[in-house]
Chain A
Amino acid sequence: MPHRSLKPDAPVGDRVVTTTCYMCACRCGIRVHLKDGRVRYIDGNPAHPVNRGAICAKGAAGPRQHDSPARLRKPLLRTGPRGAGEFREIEWSEALALAAKWLGDIRKRNPDELAFFTGRDQSQALTGWWAQQFGTVNYAAHGGFCSVNMAAAGMYTLGGSFWEFGEPDWEHTKYLLLWGVAEDHDSNPIKLGLGKLKARGAKIVAINPVRTGYAAIADEWVPIRPGTDGLLIGALLHELLRHDRIDLDYLVRYTNAHWLVIRAPGSADDGLFARDAEGHPLCAARDASLSPDAVGEEGGAREPVASALRWRLERADAVGIAPVIVGEYALPDGRTAVPAFQLLAQRFLAPEYAPQAVAERCGVPAATIRRLAQELAKVAFEQAISLPQHWTDAWGREHADMLGRPVAMHAMRGIGAHANGFHTCRMLHLLQMLLGAIDTPGSFRYQPPYPKAVPPANRPGRARRDDGALDANPLGYVHAPADLLVDADGRPRRIDKAFSWEHPLAAHGMLQTVIRNAWAGDPYRIDTLFLFMANMGWNSAMNTAETRRMLADRDPATGRYRIPHIIYVDAYGSETVDYADLVLPDTTYLERHDGMSLLDRPISDADGAADAIRVPVVAPDRDVRPFQDVLLELGARLRLPGMADADGAPVYRDYADYLQRHQRAPGVGLLAGWRGADGTAHGVGAPNPRQLEAYAAHDCHWRLPVPAAGRYYKMANRDYLEWARALGFVGSAAPIVLELYSETLQRFRLSAQGHGAVRPPARQRARVERYFDPLPFWYDDIEADGSSAERGGERGHAEWPPSALGAPSPARGGRDEKAYPLHAISQRPMFMYHAWGSHNVWLRQIAARNCLYLHPATAAEHGVADGDWVWLVSPQARIRVQARLHAGTAPGVLWTWNAIGKGKGAWRLAADAPESRDGFLLNHLIGELLPPRDGARYANADPVTGQAAWYDLRVRLERDAAPEVPGHRIERATGSAA
């Protein structure tokens, strides 16, 4: 009885346009199928290198994001008080004139009075350049809130990192460790990779307090206590060292393990590398030409002194030598030095990193830690692989094959969003180094344009040129204290205090501190807060309720808002809109051009450099404009250098024009494909007026494969490095040395010890000295880390390398762990991206509210039953939430899905929508500042990078008198910091 009407071969639609997804930051290729001019459906593009046809729940829900009722429709000017949501619609001419007036006045007065912060912005190559041309140092995207520990630790250690910088070798790895990986990053490439590993029978281990998503299909789940990942990694290092299961040849070839570290306590070069007259680092190497007596010259040498070792100093970067990695060696000036490896070994062989010493604190049995170390070593060394691929190393030596250590790691913000995250992430890279598992077959692999120099050459802009522009992009990599943005007294020059002594390596800025600092006038007041797609009035804020009060707070003396102007740009009516004075509505991702540039966050994979664009698939049906176009037009109105010509005419018609014609350096533009007047050049070449057409004809992406001989050992592979140099990815084809020992960090420590021209203010010296340790170490979350300031001084060199751990006593530290005994963290559902999903009428049917999940044992300890409404209490506030039992949660840990909880009335959701009625944010409980110490308050952030430490949250659970009565509430703690 078949259908009369069924036509199984009816055409799907009348047109297909390929473009790039923007339902999260993954940037998959999509096909948008149109019917009668409307978006009929969206699927994955099988020809795209990122997703190969796969599409996730978010991507497939794109049609409902595109026509979401929450879309803004026209520019808005605030008419009521901030926060009330009272606006009138205005024309673009009025909106742009107003913005240009505010910004123009600022630029004449002091460009730093503009704080320009963007959210999950995929056009930072434009927004950062715009800020630079405007001349403000106060620019950043959301990395300080998200992932800067992961990024900076990688860039300061191996010139790359995970996710957009590198990936596991999905084709060859036999053992994958997933550390704290959130389920939204990296979306489809990880899922595709996990599928391959599963099909091949590789082992997957998930180290995570919560077993959901990727962890659910892992072979082994290691429920770890939040914030102790560094301890577990340290214990793995301990075990590998103790059992001598280390790739020593890899270490001396590709890392600075053998470089000699000067030991001259109190002197200005203590802890720096010993160098020859030309500045080349030195090592000790075996020398058959010397007699054994040569050893005797090292008068005070302690262990280990081998009876028969004959050695001499060599350039550490020389080849054909046999470096020594332990011992104490005399330098020509009579001082002594030790190989960096020895310092590493001493630190991690110490009993405090032994498995049995860390087991209780990590919540991981010592036997498990030992076994994991054995498994890692067994796979790396006994199941090593070899690819028959000829290659030439950076020193010109040829190799017939590529040795692989098929152990791969992937990590995300789970291990990073702690105040100890930078050192934890660095430690993870050291673990990979000891296993010889960085960019080898089967291990972690770099994605071009990475690896870069360690650290990358670009420093943050500091000075203004005559035309008012900054001398460099406001974000960059600080190499030494002289690169910091501090004034003569050592005070922060940025509103967010990034690149100050408080957070010197804050490479992504510190978005999470901006509102508070601007409100408090600390370090100074600003005029305009200009936010793009950053929901800083809700889920992109700590202490959210208080942050909203700050946005609407007036100076009692003048009656004016403490933050005088707020401009907000977004496509949707988020919670932050209500706090803006001027709202500029953006398009959806199907209505504009975008560029995913190699200068910013490209879509490369380990086997190819790639970038991508978006093209307008449909025209907007509202009075909205692409933000990038608006930014360029504002730039022209303000006559910013590079955006207006001498007559004040716009240099660029729109963003599409900018993508094609803008050159960052001669021949270098935002897009690397089809350059040159005829479109035949790749990487470097003159602008091509038909470049976007070429992209559109190639599914909106460009990809250039890495030469076969350059696929691995990229940091020291001539075939790769020459290729990368030709494309402008690296300045030279010199090998990139992996930094097991960080001389950069030591320079900051020396400045804290009183050396050099730029030194921290007295009250910050102990903090800088402690946290700028050239070798990674673990410390408790910083609020509880009572030892932080007090102990730094006493350490000095008496105990060098310093012992890292304090005694695990609940009484120590500035915080009462008994009052707040539980950890509370958030996880990211795979079907939503941060705040972006809840207004999508398909995605919110999957989950319209979140609950608090906890282990049945934890619930039982607190007398909580499944479904009870309970109170979560922190020093900041208390929130009423519904508890659900979940055995896949580590005891002592509470968690929830991130950003499903919404503010009432936002996103066009009904007033009784579960998102606001029952759903919640943990953010209300998280303080943006640490408690006062020594008369100062630091950001609740990593002391090295400024990464928001929101996974350090500690809470207690209290029963409610009527646990069956539903309803979420937020109550601010009395006397909590304002």
Chain B
Amino acid sequence: MDLALQLLFTGIGIGAVYALVALGFVLIFRATNVVNFAQGEFSMVAAYLMVVAVEAGLPYWAAFIVALLGMALLGVVFNLGVYYPLRHRTYLPVIIATIGASILMANSVLAIYGPQPQVLEGWFETPGIQVGPVYLDSQYLLIIGVTICLVIFNFWFFEKTLLGKKLQATSQDKEMASLLGISVSTMIMITFIYSAVLGGLAGILVAPVLFVSIQMGSTIALKAFAATIIGGFGDVAGAIIGGLALGVIETFGAAYISVPYKDGFAFLVLIAFLIFRPQGIFGERVAEKA
């Protein structure tokens, strides 16, 4: 039982990272009808930015802000360079462009930094606290805390502000949004910036737990993509629930069944969902978009 509680905590922690990246997937998908296959690289690039900023001698919090600002800028560049020129085309060229961008980002970092993984310290000096039978790792606590704040922010932003409503309107019917005077290109720009920052945040938060490597982006992105399918594609709540569920499932699977097959459990669940419930947990609600 103690072990189960411990695993639940760790699973939610890693699941929160998948949830943040999955949220980025969903927001871009809803705004542009395209899956951004470079979403995972946002996490990777942000982790490297963080490593660079810390090595340059910046205090941790300042490095954090610099890295996130860098991600916002990357969101702008990504939108202008990858999505915007192809916006009037079908989804296929855009998807291929995002794959190309992801390869470009991974190899740029490889060229600059080399293949050896980097280590990033955690935010807190204290490694964690013991609460009863469960040891709460401080970095996982931070991840969970930030994710809770972001989910609340996300809800407030999209449900309570007029800008959030304009973003939703744009994702539901671009032509009608433009007829009302909503600047569609601005809304899509905001979406890319927000998604890049979300992905970046996930990368920075998870970096001290994993190694900072070129491959970390694609690993996280695959899990996050699986999370969006489990939750119900295009559904914000589904992405978060799916991410958390996936983190918990793979953590339990690794502990009780097999550590080497840790990644396998995530994809086993994905395949099960694709066969038995392809619309995901919150699938029906996608009908609202129709």
Whether chain B is bound by chain A comes out as no
